[in-house]
Structure 1
Amino acid sequence: MRRVKTTESVGMVLCHDVTKIVPGEFKGALFKKGHIIKAEDVEALLDIGKEHLFVWESDDLNIHENDAASRIAQAVSGNSTELTCPKEGRVNVLALSDGLLKVNTDILSAVNSVEEVAVATRHNNSYVRKGDTLAGTRVIPLVINKEKVEKVEEICAANEPIISVKPVQSYKTGVITTGSEVYSGRIEDRFGPVVIKKLEDFGSPVLHHTILPDDKTQIAEEIHSLIDQGLELVVITGGMSVDPDDATPGAVKAAGADIITYGTPLFPGAMFLLAYIADVPILGLPGCVMYHKATVFDIILPRILAGEKLARQEITRLGHGGLCLDCPQCHYPHCSFGK
């Protein structure tokens, strides 16, 4: 950058914010860094005592912060993303569709290890909606050596994209509500409707809903019946505790499923079950799903619908950030739960 007279600055790019202060009325930026000075701006600048300015001077060794942020954002972005225009040296990466945010955290760390480069993202495996901000990119100084930006581009070109959105799929789903008290009509089923609504909100229609007693054999037979009908996801509500009458885990085992986990380090949701019969996921949901806004179900379901087949190790990692704080007003997903 170089220092120039304000009267000779028309057409040049400001390297800094210019602050205007009117006591008791206004204090803020009259012009922000990156602003291209117009003829009509000169008098306004002189009125606040700015007879000289620092302006951007192009050369072959350095890149302006706006251009650098744009190039870095382009380098880190993958499927279903778009970029904003630079604003105050920052470019945001936005979601082009609903889906599961995937962040390559190892490569993100490598990029942020390049001096004077900063890329900040949302948490990996967050469910995002079209238009959501996924990440922000910028450089720390007003200008940066182009070799640093090229280093970021080199790192990204050699790896999978750091930021992408994985679409969720529509799964043909069957729901089994268990509980002899519900089956007999002694109490109303309040669990099934909650689960069905969540599934439909993700675009997965519930094609079959059955209410069964706490009978291991009947539940196991119904699991196979749903799969034989071509359903792609089976969700079982209730019967997940260690009480003698709760039969769901035993029924899933009796059905011949490969049980990935019975129990998760997520509160609420510790008594969750995940299993597979071939490629069909079987989810056993604890009672907390019925009355908590955010539970293990909200963390696992988007990953299932994005086609991911989860291993036990991925479940055990959820303990870090797996504690819901039971806030008086739930702000999920804008909180740390499941992150």
Structure 2
Amino acid sequence: MEFGEIAVNTAIGAILAHSVQLDGQRFAKGRVLSAGDIAALQQAGIAQVVAARLTPDDMPEDEAAAALAHAAAGTGVDCAAPFTGRANLSAACDGLALVDTVALDRFNMLDESLTIATVAPFEPVVAGQMIATVKIIPFAAPRAAVARGETLLRELQAGLLQVAPWRAQKVGLVSTFLPDGKQSLLEKNRKGLEGRLAALGRHAIVERRCPHKVADVAAEITALRDAGCSLICLFGASAIVDRRDVLPAAIAQAGGAIEHFGMPVDPGNLLLLGRHGEVPVIGLPGCARSPKLNGFDWVLQRLVAGLRVRAEDIMKMGGGGLLKEIVSRPQPRAGGKTVVRKAPKIAAIILAAGQSRRMGAVNKLLTEIDGEPLIARIVRAVVESKAGPIVLVTGHEADRVRAAVADFPLTLVHNRDYADGLSGSLKAGLSALGAGVDGAIICLGDMPELRADHLARLIAAFDPEEGREICVPTFEGKRGNPVLFGRRFFPEMMQVSGDVGARHLIGEYAEAVCEVPSPDRSIFLDLDTPEALAAYRNNSTS
């Protein structure tokens, strides 16, 4: 890759390295300079820019990020479209993140241009949560380095990153008591286990209570195993202090085995790992009654995710195993919430209420393109993207439009005032969105070349924390459709009137606008007249 200061009149196709502010316009870094951009720069009196030029040996940053993200993703992992050299990976389900840290280190040492960052190994994650990001550091990466990275990642049998989903468990709980023991302690045992399991999916608990004696506990272990429990937890009235104590002795008497006693995690040091056939039997430390994080959580999470926990696994938990609350690192109390970064929930509003006046007597949305109505073609592209929920606003010939999209998962909203213009349909669509939506893509119903990847690029670019709240597709420096608006603009969008949409917000909130390069001119193409339709059909068949 060539990099440095170059003359503006030779910069067509170069990648702008630093943002340039013009009168009323800002060229962001990473912009591929078009002929129109060069003219604007020259008109502003700018003769030199710092830019990069790719060589045949370079792979563009987005292409490289996408290739490596797909190679890294294992079971239970979704890949987002790349943007500015970054491709994020998210959890497809609730579960436990599994990271091959040895392979991750090998990958990150291949070339300084290639990086992958992940959540911590064995971190509980929720569906939609970002769990890794692939970032290409410069504007391009050496093709040879990307090829080495792909090879390394694809050779991993299970993938660099997986999410093991929570599996429903039938959990047996044995709580023991002493003659003078408190009943409230037994209740606390059950509540502590219920609270932990509730965060890991849906599970059934079968509880048994018995005296703190070897024979009694052994009988309950056998009964729970025979009842089909997939995991058995033992809460002793007295802490386990030795492999030969009451609870481990009971496991042995029931026909089980002790695999490990103790763990390098505090709190949680006195955890006991046993097994009765294929059923794990866990002797719980006293700290497991508390809602605070402790060593039992780490073991329980792996077991509920379907992973086998061995003595070696427990002995490797020392790194990061100091969980005890200290002044410099307070732990969350009961009821505290952990904030996770999830992929934004982006809805799509498809405007399909217009009367197609310029098309004459024909409703352009029902005109067939490649054997299906134009509106169905648009809806199909939106459904195939990551957008959701999808709201389609009808108006003119509503029954026929609804029939054309009857097979798609949509929320249908009717705009009775469709004759008054575009604004009524926009407001009807926004009103149908739920509170959990972070933004919405406003799609026109007459863009025949709209594809799922066009929408995916907008969604990947959207990041309010980074100031990217209005995402606009561009090609050769010109802006097109559809446009993604963040939720904070919805109130102003609800105030528009007449036959206009919300594009005026792009000018009013220039600091929030992110231009998203499109791979083609499809973002400009709509079919408003019979001539445009005829020309499109001729071009499609030629």
Q: Are 2:187 and 1:189 equivalent residues in the alignment?
A: yes
- 2-side partners of 1:191 and 1:49: how far apart? 75
Q: Are 2:115 and 1:131 equivalent residues in the alignment?
A: no
Q: Are 2:151 and 1:154 equivalent residues in the alignment?
A: yes
Shift of the alpha carbon at 1:170?
A: 0.6
Q: Are 2:224 and 1:226 equivalent residues in the alignment?
A: yes
1:277-316 paired onto structure 2 within 5 Å: 277-316=276-315
- 2-side partners of 1:311 and 1:247: how far apart? 22
- 2-side partners of 1:192 and 1:207: how far apart? 9
Greater RCO, CA 8 A, separation 6+: 1
Q: Are 2:316 and 1:328 equivalent residues in the alignment?
A: no
The match for 1:241 is: 240
Structure 2 residue matching 1:69: 3-state secondary structure: helix
- Deviation digits for residues 299-320 of structure 1 (CA, Å, limit 9, x no counterpart): 1112111222222111111112
- 1-side partners of 2:180 and 2:337: how far apart? 30
Bigger drift between 52-61 and 89-98 goes to 52-61
The match for 2:49 is: 53
Contact 1:100–1:302 under 8 Å retained in 2: yes
Amino acid in structure 2 at the alignment position of 1:65: E
- 2-side partners of 1:184 and 1:109: how far apart? 51
Q: Quick one: structure 1 residues 207 and 188, their matched pair in 2 at CA, closer, same or farther if it must change by over 3 Å?
A: closer
Contact 2:15–2:30 under 8 Å retained in 1: yes
Q: Quick one: structure 1 residues 8 and 20, their matched pair in 2 at CA, closer, same or farther if it must change by over 3 Å?
A: same
TM-score, structure 1 as length reference: 0.84
Contact 2:16–2:32 under 8 Å retained in 1: no
Contact 1:120–1:135 under 8 Å retained in 2: yes
Contact 2:17–2:52 under 8 Å retained in 1: no
Shift of the alpha carbon at 1:253?
A: 2.4
Shift of the alpha carbon at 1:247?
A: 2.6
The match for 1:83 is: 79
Shift of the alpha carbon at 1:186?
A: 7.3
Bigger drift between 50-59 and 288-297 goes to 50-59
1:16-95 paired onto structure 2 within 5 Å: 16-18=17-19, 20=21, 30-36=26-32, 50-55=46-51, 57-95=53-91
Amino acid in structure 2 at the alignment position of 1:220: A
Any stretches of 5+ residues in structure 1 without a counterpart? Answer: 23-28, 335-339
Bigger drift between 281-290 and 320-329 goes to 320-329
2:172 paired residue among 171, 174, 195: 174
- Deviation digits for residues 70-97 of structure 1 (CA, Å, limit 9, x no counterpart): 2221221111112223333222211111
Q: Quick one: structure 1 residues 50 and 242, their matched pair in 2 at CA, closer, same or farther if it must change by over 3 Å?
A: same
Amino acid in structure 2 at the alignment position of 1:189: E
- Deviation digits for residues 193-212 of structure 1 (CA, Å, limit 9, x no counterpart): 11122123322423411222
- 2-side partners of 1:166 and 1:182: how far apart? 43
- Deviation digits for residues 271-319 of structure 1 (CA, Å, limit 9, x no counterpart): 1111111111111111111125101121111211122222211111111
Provide the identity percentage. Answer: 27
Shift of the alpha carbon at 1:36?
A: 4.5
CA RMSD, 1 decimal: 3.2
- 2-side partners of 1:21 and 1:321: how far apart? 50
Q: Quick one: structure 1 residues 255 and 74, their matched pair in 2 at CA, closer, same or farther if it must change by over 3 Å?
A: same
- 2-side partners of 1:71 and 1:259: how far apart? 46
Bigger drift between 199-208 and 308-317 goes to 199-208
- 1-side partners of 2:166 and 2:184: how far apart? 38
Amino acid in structure 1 at the alignment position of 2:98: K
- 2-side partners of 1:105 and 1:139: how far apart? 19
Amino acid in structure 1 at the alignment position of 2:227: Q
Q: Which has the larger radius of gyration?
A: 2
Contact 2:164–2:306 under 8 Å retained in 1: no
The match for 2:208 is: 210
Q: Quick one: structure 1 residues 254 and 34, their matched pair in 2 at CA, closer, same or farther if it must change by over 3 Å?
A: same
1:116-127 paired onto structure 2 within 5 Å: 116=112, 117-127=114-124
Amino acid in structure 2 at the alignment position of 1:234: I
Shift of the alpha carbon at 1:35?
A: 3.0
Any stretches of 5+ residues in structure 2 without a counterpart? Answer: 340-542
**Which is richer in helix?**
2
Amino acid in structure 2 at the alignment position of 1:144: A
Q: Quick one: structure 1 residues 31 and 200, their matched pair in 2 at CA, closer, same or farther if it must change by over 3 Å?
A: same
Contact 2:195–2:291 under 8 Å retained in 1: no
Amino acid in structure 2 at the alignment position of 1:301: L
